[in-house]
A and B are shown apart, each in its own frame.
Chain A
Amino acid sequence: MAAPQIPNLNTLRRGRGRGRGGSQRTEEGPGRTSGKDRVIQGTDNDASVSRLSAVRLGYLDDPYAEALTPAENAVRRFPIINRGTYVRTTAIDELVTRFLGPYTPQSVPKRKQIISLGAGSDTRVFRLLASRQPPDVIYHEIDFAVNTTAKIKAIRSTPLLQRAVGITPSNDEVSLSETGDALHSPCYHIHPLDLRSLSATEDPSKIMPGFKTELPTLLVSECCLVYLSPTEAEQVLSWFTKALGKGADVTGTANIETPITPLGLILYEPIRPDDPFGRTMVANLATRGIKLQTLQKYHSLGAQRTRLKEQGFISTQAAADIEFIWEHWVNEQEKERVADIERLDEMEEWQLLARHYCIAWGWRNGIDPTAFSGWSTLPSQSSEQ
């Protein structure tokens, strides 16, 4: 699986730190990881342990979770955390599924593209591609090299994962970087990239092999951009809105010289840092060295919607907290099923926790006003509390 045709992506990162959490980056050469970045990389472990807990108890059906979480890390989480993991995962699944539309083999020629930022050990690509063969979607994952290396190692040692994404040892369309931190196949790409380094490059194809600028595209930031500084987070989104056609500037005027690719964004992030729960969250995470850098700027559902608009997702912006999504996106039968798995002992605590995380979603139609039509009927919270 050696792939000499793939450039050594490490060289593209020269002079940059690798982390998405640090703001100081001048002293960090390639291959060096700052302590702050390591802490942020470690947050992926929190997410994957929580996922495995929810899967083992039956909240989520995900045959790939075991393979991507080291068995020695497995912990049974409290019911409140399992429910939150369930809502977060199924809500993003819902948005992704609605973006792609119902799968038929006839839809394969009209492909779409998904880019997962800070994907870590996420299993969504496996679940998605396994259910859409031959695939009608190209899936990109971007993360630190240390995380992508671990994921590629897991894929190489797990036939179940390989089958899910259509990678077989004999498939010569699959390539791997020399250092084992990048993977490329017709429908699945893993890019070992520091998101902060994107803005240094204009040409997407150089930095992200397999990236298609003409396909309707969905960006997913599942608790990722929040670790960057507000400026860095803005630059990441701007880079994609530019790379996929000029899009719109802040005032909303479209540049009509280049065709504008339809582009959507899903953000999953904590909100409301200024009440007692939010203050405690910020303080508790700080003792672990985790700083949620954009939290103050995007502190509310309203601030998230404004952000979406200002970043060029001009067609529609919407947001809802996890409590609202549990109440309004999950049907009664499913709610009952989930509630029967584990009885919540404390509703107030659940509401408190669930109101401090949100999903925000927005899009620009570009040249295809139907690209995100599947999203238009999703309930959202209209007024800001």
Chain B
Amino acid sequence: MLSFDLTDEQQLLKDSVERFIERSYPFDKRRASSKTDEGFSRAHWKQFAELGWLAVGLPEDQGGFGGAREVAVLMEAFGRGLVTEPWLASVLLAGGTIARAGSETQKEELLGALIAGESVMAFAHGEPKSRYDIARVETSAKKSGDGWVLDGHKAVVLNGDAADTLIVSARTSGKARDREGISLFVVDPRADGVEVRGYPTNDGGRAAEIKLSGAAGTLLGTEGKAYSVIEETIDRAAAAVCAESLGLMSVLNAMTLDYSKTREQFGQKIGAFQALQHRMADMFVALEESRSLADVYMADVDSDDLAERQRAVSALKVQCDKAGRRVGQEAVQLHGGIAMTDDYQASHYFKRLSIIARQFGDIDWHLDRYATLTQ
């Protein structure tokens, strides 16, 4: 049976995160912390831990709770607040990968520190030439005594400059695009041979280029078998940013509607013009369609059936990126010049939507995958 209602636990989570965004995450504070060296507030991160949000989506036996729907509840609210804290990088990308790949000891040690808020982590997978190709790993790892040494370049590592632990993918055998032969490693960013170049991103967050030259790494899980783990990580991240985009779109739609009811030109509210009314109706439809798809298909992201999971994720990403494009561009256009400015919040929501469309597979990448899955 289909149920669109949230469970009591999900509702509690939703209430708590929405309350936080509303009361403790005003735009001017977000803007200020986004401009700091780390790009987020450590005080907020501590609060996230206390509220239990750093456990969402992680396994119950490690102190975690919830699956894709809980992640979606959190991410939608983070979208509303344009949250810059590294939840996606640290908990979903790094934490989720550890949970799926790590040994019992590794999970206990790493996830414990993550959930407690003592550690910020990042997932270093993408490379300068990989675009959205998950198997394109050229970074290499070679055995050296008891451990491994890594060489290569990891690109646009989200929050890579704030992390005290890196989860790095590297090739232990095979060629650049082989699915076999990819392994995961735990790397200390302060170790010799690791160069982290952090920078701000166009959506108010931060990322880093990470260069490894003979850097020491500890194997996470089984050698050569990380492809399916990474693929699931990327799928879950894609679904999560779709939920985030629902939050972003809902704010933009509300701001545009509100503006159209206050801004006057030609002696009337601009919302009285039918040409603009139709476009706001389209923006509303775009968001509501995306929300429906997410409500029904988000649970499939937890499916053990690989094809079912991937169909759901690709459908979501295509729909939400298309809707995000329409809502983002129209919100700016309907506001006019004011939404072009850095001072006005809408521009920041538009920018985040524009970057989401280039993360974890773009529309064409997901359309191709969907076509392959359904042929």
A and B: bona fide binding partners: no
